[in-house]
Structure 1
Amino acid sequence: MLAAPPDLPVTAGLPALAEALRTSGVAVVQAPPGTGKTTLVPPAVAEVVDGRVVVTQPSRIAARAAARRLAHLLGEPVGETVGHSVRGDRRTSRRTRVEVVTTGLLLRRIQHDPELAGVGAVVLDEVHERHLDADLTLALLVDVRANLREDLSLVAMSATIEAERTAALLGRDTPVIRVPGALHPVRSVWCPPPAGVRRTDDRGITPAFHDHVAGTVRRALTDHEGDVLVFVPGVAEVDATVRRLAGVDADVHALHGRLSGAQQDRALSEGPRRRVVVSTAVAESSLTVPGVRIVVDAGFSREPRTDHRRGLASLVTVAVSRAAAEQRAGRSGRLGPGTVLRCWSEAEHTHLAAHPEPEIATADLTAFALEVACWGSTDARDLALLDQPPAHALSAAREVLVGLGAMTDDGRATARGRVIAGVPADPRLARALLDGAGLVGAGRAAEVVAMLSEDVRAPGGDLVAALRSLRTDQRARSWRQQVTRLEQVVAGQGTTSEHTRPLTDDVAVGLVVALAHPDRIARKRSGTSSYLMASGTGAALDPRAPGPLAGLEWLAVGDAHRRPGDREARIRAAAPLTEDLALEAAGSLWTEADEVAWTDGRVVARRRTLLGAIELSSTPLTDPPVQAVSIAIREAMTTEGIALLSWTEAATALRARLDFLHRAIGDPWPDVSDAALTEGLHTWLGLQLARVRSAQDLRRIDVSAALRAMVPWQEAGRLDDLAPERVQVPSGSTVRIDYSQEQPVLAVRLQEVFGWTAVPALAGGRVPLLLHLLSPARRPAAVTADLESFWDNGYPGVRADLRGRYPKHSWPEDPRGAPATARTKRPST
Structure 2
Amino acid sequence: MIRYDALDALPVRAALPSLAEALEGHGTAVLVAPPGTGKTTLVPLALAGLSDGGPARRVVVAEPRRIAARAAARRMAWLLGEKVGESVGHTVRGERVVGPRTRVEVVTTGVLLQRLQRDQELPGVDVVVLDECHERHLDADTVAAFLLDVRAALRPELRLVAASATTDAEGWARLLGGAPVVAAEGVSYPVEVVWAPPARPVRPPHGMRVDPAALTHVASVVRRALTEREGDVLCFLPGVGEIARVAGQLGGLGDVDVLQVHGRAPAAVQDAVLAGGERRRVVLATSVAESSLTVPGVRVVVDSGLAREPRVDHARGIGSLTTVRASRAAGRQRAGRAGREAPGTVYRCWAEAEDARLPRFPSPEIKVADLTAFALQAACWGDPEATGLALLDPPPGGAMAAARNVLSAIGAVSPTGHATERGVRMSRLGLHPRLARALLDATPLVGAECAAEVVALLSEEPPREYGDDLAAALRRARHGGDAYAARWRTEVRRLRTASPSASQTGTQTGPQTGTPSHPAPAQDSRTGEAQAGGWAAAGGDRGVGVVAALAFPERVARGEGGAFLMVSGTRAEVAEGSGLRGVPWISVAVADRAVGSGHARVRLGVAVDEGVAREAAGELYRRDEEVAWRDGDVVARRVERLGAVELAVRPLREAAPALVRQALLEGLRDEGFGLLRWSQDAARLRERLAFLRERLGEPWPDVSDGALHARVEEWLEPEVSRARRRADLGRIDAGEGLKRLLPWATGDAARLDELAPERIEVPSGSRIRVDYSRPEQPVLAVKLQEMFGLRESPVLAGVPVLVHLLSPAGRPAAVTADLASFWRDGYRAVRAELRGRYPRHPWPEDPATAEPTRYTNARLRR
TM-based fold match above 0.5:
yes
417-426 vs 136-145, greater mean Cα deviation: 417-426
Name the counterpart of 1:587: 618
Counterpart in 1 of 2:715? 685
Q: How does 1:155-304 map to 2 (within 5 A)?
A: 155-172=161-178, 174-195=179-200, 204-248=209-253, 249-304=255-310
CA 1:203–1:22 in 2, change beyond 3 Å: closer, same or farther? closer
Instruction: Give the C-alpha shift of residue 431 in structure 1.
Output: 2.1
Q: 2:480 aligns with which of 451, 454, 473?
A: 473
SS at match of 2:626: strand
- 1:638 Cα deviation from its structure 2 partner: 6.3
Provide the aligned length of Structure 1 versus Structure 2.
Answer: 820
Using a 3 Å threshold, how does the CA distance of structure 1 residues 654 and 457 change in structure 2: closer, same or farther? farther
Q: Does 1:57 align with 2:63?
A: yes
Q: Which amino acid aligns with 2:660?
A: V
* Contact 2:375/2:384, CA 8 A, preserved across alignment: no
Structure 2 unmatched runs, 5+: 507-517, 519-534
Q: 1:92 to 1:580 in 2, by over 3 A?
A: same
State how far apart, in whole Å, the 2-side matches of 1:11 and 1:291 are.
Answer: 23
Conserved in 1, the CA contact under 8 Å of 2:632 and 2:667? no
Kindly, what percent of the aligned residue pairs are identical?
53
Q: Secondary structure at the match of 2:853?
A: coil
Q: CA deviation at 1:201?
A: 6.9
CA contact (8 A) 2:2 2:81 kept: no
Are 2:139 and 1:133 aligned?
Answer: yes
The answer to which of 65-74 and 734-743 deviates more is 734-743
Identify the residue that residue 42 of structure 2 maps to in structure 1.
40
On the 8 A contact 1:605/1:624 being kept in 2, the answer is: yes
Following the alignment from structure 1 to structure 2, what is the Cα–Cα distance between the partners of residues 785 and 239?
78
> For the residues of structure 2 that align with 1:201 and 1:126, how far apart are their CA atoms?
27
Residue pairs, 1:63-462, within 5 angstroms: 63-172=69-178, 174-195=179-200, 204-248=209-253, 249-456=255-462, 458=464, 461-462=468-469
Provide closer, same or farther for how the CA distance between residues 3 and 769 of structure 1 changes in structure 2, counting only shifts above 3 A: closer
Instruction: Determine which of 710, 717, 720 is the counterpart of 2:750.
Output: 717
Is the deviation greater in 767-776 or in 326-335?
Answer: 767-776
Greater Cα shift, 2-11 or 491-500 = 491-500
Tell me if 1:662 matches 2:693. Answer: yes
Q: What CA deviation, in whole Å up to 9, does each residue of 1:447-478 have, x standing for no partner?
A: 33223222445356444444444344311322
Bigger mean CA deviation after superposition, 781-790 or 359-368? 781-790
What's the CA shift string for 1:413-432, capped at 9, x where partnerless?
12222222122221112222
Change (3 A) 1:229 1:663: closer
| Residues 253 and 275, structure 1, Cα contact 8 Å, conserved in 2 | yes
Contact 1:809 1:826 in 2 (8 A): no
Distance 1:334 1:756, change over 3 A: closer
Shift of 1:284: 0.7
Aligned-residue Cα RMSD (Å) equals 3.2
Does the aligned pair in 2 maintain the 1:688–1:701 contact within 8 Å? no
* Larger mean Cα displacement after TM superposition, 800-809 or 108-117: 800-809
Kept in 1: contact 2:207–2:321 (CA 8 A): no
Instruction: State the Cα deviation string for residues 198-228 of structure 1 (Å, max 9, x = none).
Output: 6757762344544443443344334333233
Structure 1 pair 468/350, CA: closer, same or farther in 2 (3 Å)? farther
- 2:776 is the counterpart of 1:746: no
For the residues of structure 1 that align with 2:357 and 2:817, how far apart are their CA atoms?
63
Which of 482, 487, 491 matches 1:482? 491
1:692–1:163 distance in 2 versus 1, CA, 3 Å: farther
- One-letter code aligned to 1:489: A
Q: Would the alpha carbon gap of residues 193 and 465 (structure 1) be closer, same or farther in structure 2, given more than 3 Å must change?
A: farther
**More off after superposition, 785-794 vs 33-42:** 785-794
Q: CA deviation at 1:784?
A: 3.6
1:571/1:733 CA distance change after superposition, 3 Å:
same
Does 1:781 pair with 2:813?
yes
Distance, in Å, in 1 between the alignment partners of 2:821 and 2:212 is 81
Q: Which moved more, 1:187-196 or 1:51-60?
A: 187-196
CA contact (8 A) 1:230 1:295 kept: yes
Supply the AA of the counterpart residue of 1:660.
Answer: F
- The worse-fitting range, judged by mean Cα deviation, of 302-311 and 495-504 is 495-504
Instruction: For 1:200 and 1:15, locate their aligned partners in 2 and report how far apart those are by CA, in whole Å.
Output: 46
CA–CA distance in structure 1, aligned partners of residues 205 and 180 of structure 2:
45
- Counterpart in 2 of 1:517? 552
TM-superposed CA distance for 1:229, in Å, is 2.2
Three-state SS of the structure 1 residue aligned to 2:29 is strand
Determine helix, strand or coil for the equivalent of 2:105: strand
CA distance in 2, matches of 1:658, 1:323: 64
- Alignment-derived partner of residue 621 in structure 1: 652
1:646 deviation in Å?
A: 4.0
Determine helix, strand or coil for the equivalent of 1:402.
helix
Q: Deviations over 1:578-635 (max 9, x none)?
A: 3222223222222222222233453322222222222222222211122233344455
Tell me which residue corresponds to 1:672: 703
Residue 596 of structure 1 aligns with which residue?
Answer: 627
Q: For structure 1, which segment, 361-370 or 616-625, has the greater mean C-alpha deviation from structure 2 after superposition?
A: 616-625
Q: Which moved more, 1:306-315 or 1:13-22?
A: 13-22
- Aligned equivalents of 2:605, 2:718: Cα separation in 1: 53
**Other-structure match for 2:509:** none
Separation in 1, partners of 2:186, 2:853 = 104
Deviates most, 449-458 or 86-95:
449-458
Q: Residue 214 of structure 1 contacts residue 245 of structure 1 at CA under 8 Å; is this kept in 2?
A: yes
TM-score, normalised by the number of residues in structure 1: 0.91
Partner of 2:643: 612
Find 1:770's aligned residue among 787, 802, 806. 802
- Residues 679 and 733 of structure 2 are in contact (CA less than 8 Å); yes or no, is this contact kept in structure 1? no
Letter of the 2:331 partner, please give it: A
Query: Which residue identity lines up with residue 399 of structure 1 in the other structure?
Result: N
For 1:419 and 1:40, the matched residues in 2 are separated by 37
**What SS does the aligned partner of 1:306 have?**
strand
* Local SS of the residue matching 1:384: coil
Deviations 1:470-518, CA, capped at 9 Å, x for gaps: 344311322222222222222567678996635553x554443332222
